[in-house]
Structure 1
Amino acid sequence: MRKLVGFFIVVLSFLEPVVAQEISYKTIENINYYPKALQQSDTYLASQARLDIYYPEDKKDVPVIIWFHGGGLTGGSKEIPQALKNKGYCIVGVGYRLSPKVKASVCIEDATAAIAWTFKNIEAYNGDSKNIFVSGHSAGGYLALMSIMDKSRLAKYDINANDVAGLIPFSGHTITHFTIRAERGIPGEQPIVDAYAPLYFVRNDAPPILLITGDRELEMLGRYEENAYFYRMMKVAGQQHIKQYEMQGYGHNMTHPAYPLLLRFVAENSVKSEQ
Structure 2
Amino acid sequence: MKSTIVLCSILWITFIPHSFAQEQGYVLKENIPYLETSDASDYTKQRCKLDIYYPNNKSNFTTIVWFHGGGLKAGNKHIPEKLKEKGLAVVAVNYRLSPKVKCPVYIEDAAAAVAWTFNNIEKFGGSKSKIVVSGHSAGGYLASMIGMDTQYLEKYGVAADSIALLVPFSGHTITHFTVRAERGIAGTQPIIDAFAPLYFVRPEAPPLVLITGDRELEMLGRYEENAYMYRMMKVAGHTKTKLYELDAFNHGGMVSPALEILLKEIEQLNKIQAE
**Structure 2 equivalent of residue 136 of structure 1:** 135
| Aligned partner of residue 176 in structure 1, secondary structure | coil
| Deviation digits for residues 13-60 of structure 1 (CA, Å, limit 9, x no counterpart) | 1xx36362210001000000012x536x22211110000000001101
**Structure 1 equivalent of residue 89 of structure 2:** 90
Q: Which structure 1 residue ranges, 4+ long, deviate > 6 Å from structure 2? A: none
- Return the alpha-carbon distance in structure 2 between the equivalents of residues 183 and 100 of structure 1: 8
**Structure 2 equivalent of residue 203 of structure 1:** 202
Contact 1:61–1:273 under 8 Å retained in 2: no
Q: Give identity over the alignment, percent.
A: 55
| Deviation digits for residues 42-90 of structure 1 (CA, Å, limit 9, x no counterpart) | 2211110000000001101100000000000000001110110000001
| Deviation digits for residues 156-210 of structure 1 (CA, Å, limit 9, x no counterpart) | 1111111000000000000000000001111001000000000000001111111
**Structure 2 equivalent of residue 255 of structure 1:** 255
Instruction: List aligned pairs for 1:77-116, cutoff 5 A.
Output: 77-116=76-115
| Aligned partner of residue 162 in structure 1, secondary structure | helix
- Return the alpha-carbon distance in structure 2 between the equivalents of residues 87 and 192 of structure 1: 39
| Aligned partner of residue 38 in structure 2, secondary structure | helix
- Return the alpha-carbon distance in structure 2 between the equivalents of residues 44 and 147 of structure 1: 22
**Structure 1 equivalent of residue 34 of structure 2:** 33
- Return the alpha-carbon distance in structure 2 between the equivalents of residues 165 and 24 of structure 1: 25
For normalisation by structure 1, the TM-score amounts to 0.94
| Aligned partner of residue 144 in structure 1, secondary structure | helix
Partner amino acid for 1:130?
S
For normalisation by structure 2, the TM-score amounts to 0.94
- Return the alpha-carbon distance in structure 2 between the equivalents of residues 193 and 51 of structure 1: 30
Instruction: List aligned pairs for 1:166-181, cutoff 5 A.
Output: 166-181=165-180
**Structure 1 equivalent of residue 49 of structure 2:** 50
Unaligned runs of 5+ in 2: none
Partner amino acid for 1:199?
L
| Aligned partner of residue 251 in structure 1, secondary structure | coil
1:4 aligns with 2:5: no
TM superposition shift of 1:125: 1.6
**Structure 1 equivalent of residue 190 of structure 2:** 191
**Structure 2 equivalent of residue 127 of structure 1:** 126
| Deviation digits for residues 78-111 of structure 1 (CA, Å, limit 9, x no counterpart) | 1110110000001100000000000032110000
TM superposition shift of 1:272: 4.2
- Return the alpha-carbon distance in structure 2 between the equivalents of residues 17 and 141 of structure 1: 26
Deviates more, 1:117-126 or 1:129-138: 117-126
- Return the alpha-carbon distance in structure 2 between the equivalents of residues 38 and 62 of structure 1: 34
**Structure 2 equivalent of residue 153 of structure 1:** 152
- Return the alpha-carbon distance in structure 2 between the equivalents of residues 18 and 107 of structure 1: 36
